[in-house]
Amino acid sequence: MNATTPQQIMQRWHIVQGQLIPALHQEIGLLTPKLEKLIHILEWSRVEEWVQRFSYRTGRPPHELAWLANAFVAKVVLGLTTTVHLIERLSIDKALQRICGFPLHKKLPSASTFSRAFETFAKDKLAERAHEGLIKTHFGDRLIGHISRDGTAIEARERPQKNDKENNNPKPKGRPRKDEKRPVKLNVARQRTQCLEEMLKDIPTDCRRGTKCNAQGYKHSWNGYKLHLDIADCGVPIAALLSSASMHDSRAAIPLSHISAARVTNLYDLMDAAYCSIDLHEHSRELGHVPLIDHNPRGGEKEEFEPADAVR
């Protein structure tokens, strides 16, 4: 289902295509498709409004921080891997300068200014707050049919962290002694007894080596991270979590479900066989949802969906 009304989409579309882009054409010339895409993203996200809601101690006026925030988004949309590449692009691309808000008659901020601002935006989770506000504004009062949950690989250039030596030691057998403390298992069952903040603290976020089966059943390995997403029927991401590539997808299910439940109302939780767990079935029902999780036979006989669940 489409949770955003056609009237809202067409209104924003006419504003951008009929007013904003023609005005930029007159001022700076033609725009590339990627720059037009950036304009639409900035118009929908309104990230500059979220900058002005926080008091940053950088000594810069709020409107200049808004320019840097727009550049923060442009760096991702244009696929620029480093801040240096972004500054080089801004220095030669007058259209990008004006889209971000930088006046053409002024010198661009220094690289250190960009880096400090981007670090502040990342620590304050500016992008996450803007995304949360966007979802609550356009989806908060609407009923969503299915939430599709899955993880995707994010490759990184940095070297993956090695596993701790303690984790490589064989586990002792039998019951522990009275004075013996064994490491706490970080599993789905434990997450059901935790609050959201505690679950998020347990999620590893350092660079690791990960392996995941693709849609064809082949294993794919990479160094980096894993992005876990809750996607609505219309293709809009409702919630997202970043973890180490080595973390299993099922450990992100309960935190994601709590984040999504605080933003939208949905009926069904759709997950693949990696999330097959009694705890996840019960947790989904506790939230008032219907779990649609593909069965993982784990060497046994595979169970198919019930006829009603297969239709859903």
Looking up tokens 């696929």 gives 79
> Is 113 found in the same domain as 150?
no
Residue 1 is assigned to a structural domain of this protein: no
CA–CA dist 182, 176 (Å, integer): 8
pLDDT at site 1: 43
CA-wise closest residue to 128 among 259, 253, 225 = 259
Looking up tokens 């939208």 gives 264
> Is 280 found in the same domain as 155?
yes
Phi, psi dihedral angles at 21 (to 5 degrees) = -65, -45
Q: Please work out, in degrees rounded to the nearest 5, the angle formed at the alpha carbon of residue 306 by the alpha carbons of 248 and 147.
A: 45
Residue 52 is assigned to a structural domain of this protein: yes
CA–CA dist 235, 231 (Å, integer): 6
Q: Please work out, in degrees rounded to the nearest 5, the angle formed at the alpha carbon of residue 146 by the alpha carbons of 232 and 44.
A: 15
> Is 122 found in the same domain as 76?
yes
> Is 156 found in the same domain as 302?
yes
Residue 67 is assigned to a structural domain of this protein: yes
> Is 157 found in the same domain as 88?
no
CA–CA dist 158, 145 (Å, integer): 39
> Is 246 found in the same domain as 120?
no
Residue 40 is assigned to a structural domain of this protein: yes
> Is 305 found in the same domain as 189?
yes
Residue 112 is assigned to a structural domain of this protein: yes
> Is 244 found in the same domain as 115?
no
pLDDT at site 54: 55
- State how many domains the chain has: 2
pLDDT at site 3: 45
Residue 170 is assigned to a structural domain of this protein: no
pLDDT at site 2: 45
CA-wise closest residue to 246 among 203, 182, 305 = 203
Which CATH number belongs to the domain containing residue 200 in this structure?
A: 3.30.420
pTM of the model: 0.80
pLDDT at site 166: 47
> Is 65 found in the same domain as 95?
yes
Residue 169 is assigned to a structural domain of this protein: no
> Is 157 found in the same domain as 96?
no
Residue 179 is assigned to a structural domain of this protein: no
CA–CA dist 47, 130 (Å, integer): 6
> Is 210 found in the same domain as 78?
no
CA distances from 74 to 6, 85, 119, 310 (A): 26, 11, 15, 41
> Is 152 found in the same domain as 51?
no
Instruction: Give mean pLDDT in consecutive 10-residue pieces for the chain, a chain of 312 residues.
Output: 58 70 77 89 86 59 84 94 94 92 90 92 90 91 94 89 62 69 72 92 93 83 95 94 94 96 95 92 95 85 73 65
CA-wise closest residue to 59 among 70, 68, 46 = 68
Amino acid letter for position 8: Q
**How is residue 41 written in tokens?**
């993203």
Amino acid letter for position 75: K
Domain ranges, residue 113: 6-132
